[in-house]
Each structure stands twice: as C-alpha cells, then as structure tokens.
Chain A
Amino acid sequence: SQQGEEDPQALSIQEGENATMNCSYKTSINNLQWYRQNSGRGLVHLILIRSNEREKHSGRLRVTLDTSKKSSSLLITASRAADTASYFCATEPTQGGSEKLVFGKGTKLTVNP
C-alpha cells in the first residue's frame, strides 16, 4: 500500500513560475527522496533528505522535511517546459532494514511554454 499522498495531484503552471509539491507520509523514516517520471518511463532520482535534515538544495530544487508533521515539500524554481513530468516522493521506513522505498501517488506537473 502507498505510504502517503502527494498534493496536489495535478499542477499546471507557466514556464518561469515556481512549482511547489507537498508530500505526507505515515511512519517514521530514515530518509525521504523525490523522483521524477516522464510519461511511461522509469524514475529518475532528484534529491534525498535524511530524517535529521530540515532543508536541502540541488540546483533549482529545494526540499524541506518536517518529521513532526510527517511532511515534505519540493520546490522547483524557474520552471521549464522540460520539467513536465510526474513527481513522486518516496520514503525509506525506519522499520524493515531493506532500504525499500514506499512511494506516494505522485503529482503530475505540466509546465506550459
């Protein structure tokens, strides 16, 4: 079963605008990761934030993590048409030990040129 939910389910913006996606999860985690998936393809790892971190940056990406609220957000600044994709948050639960990832349902981002 899915660990949590991304919000919104779909987001449509103009090129150059910022896009913010949120993720909520249910159990305690070792880390939270964001992945991008272009239509019908495999997933590409974007950024990882550990449970003891609160914010992380990578290029135009900024991710925050609030473990007390069990939530994370992904901000994409100065969006481009090429950013059009589905974005998934994935958590590595503390329990288990296999480093398996538990994914949300994703946010479908459309960036209009």
Chain B
Amino acid sequence: DTGVSQDPRHKITKRGQNVTFRCDPISEHNRLYWYRQTLGQGPEFLTYFQNEAQLEKSRLLSDRFSAERPKGSFSTLEIQRTEQGDSAMYLCASSSPGADEQYFGPGTRLTVT
C-alpha cells in the first residue's frame, strides 16, 4: 500500500495558462475525491468519482475545471485559463468500498502569478 500520490507537488503558472494535476489513489479504492484548500481554511469538496463515473460536482467547480477518471484508477483535474483566485492546494483522497474514512494525498500547491 503506497498511499495516495499526487503529481506535481508544486505548480507555478501564469494567469491564463492551463494546468493539469494527476492523482493516483490507493489501489482497489473505488471512490476518489478532489478538494481545494486555501490558506487558513479547511478543504472544500470539488468533485467525486465512483469508479470511472463522476457522480457529484460542487458549484465551486466552474466550467474552467474538468476532472476525469478514465479507467477508474488515476484521475486528472484540469484548470483552463487559470486565474489568481485558483491559487490553492488541490487535494485528492480515496476510500475503499464500504469505508467512510478517506485517505488523502500530499496535495498539489498551485500558484497563479
């Protein structure tokens, strides 16, 4: 069990650029979540996958954000036309069938300049 991994750990980009983050959940975890955390706040839910199906999206997820989990394993989160307000830590978590606790990755810290 290698835990949840995220790549990259840090990303600095200029406003208007597109960025893509990757999350590899714990193997055999069928549920995968994306959260966003800004300084001094708790994580906020963005979206949820069960296997390859995206079952819920927060209204925080504007049309510039898209997430995929094509084969029910790793997931990607893409932000198009980044804005300074997108600067945050993006956290991925996974959980196993029947379990309620979530296992978090180390996060990707995005800075938009």
Tell me which residues across on chain B come within 8 A of A100, comparing CB atoms: 33, 45, 48, 56
A82 located at the interface, meaning its Cβ lies under 8 Å from any Cβ of chain B in the complex: no
Q: Is the interface of B mostly helix, strand, loop or mixed?
A: strand
- Interface stretch, picked from A11-19, A68-76, A91-99, is A91-99
Which residue numbers of A lie inside 8 Å of B, CB to CB?
Answer: 1-2, 30-31, 33, 35, 40-45, 48, 88, 90, 92, 96, 98-106
Q: Let me know if B48 and A45 touch, CB within 8 A.
A: no
Query: Judging by beta carbons under 8 Å apart, are A31 and B100 in contact?
Result: yes
Q: What is the bound-complex CA distance between A92 and B101, given in angstroms?
A: 10
Count residues of chain B with CB under 8 A from any CB of chain A.
26
Give 10 A-B pairs besides A98-B48, A99-B95, A106-B42 with Cβ atoms closer than 8 angstroms. A30-B100, A40-B109, A41-B107, A42-B105, A48-B101, A90-B42, A92-B100, A98-B56, A100-B33, A101-B43
**Bound CA span A44–B101, Å:** 10
Q: Are B102 and A41 in contact (CB under 8 A)?
A: no
Q: Which residues of A contact B100 (CB under 8 A)?
A: 30-31, 33, 48, 92, 99
Would you call B43 and A103 a contact (CB within 8 A)?
A: yes
Is B42 within 8 A of A88, CB to CB?
yes
A43 touches B91 (CB 8 A): yes
Whether A42 touches B104, Cβ cut-off 8 Å, given contacts A88-B42, A105-B40, is yes
Is B69 among interface residues, defined by CB-CB distance under 8 A? no
Q: Taking CB as reference atom, which chain B residue is nearest A9? A: B40
Question: Are A105 and B105 in contact (CB-based, < 8 A)?
Answer: no
Whole-angstrom CA separation of A57 from B87 in the bound complex: 37
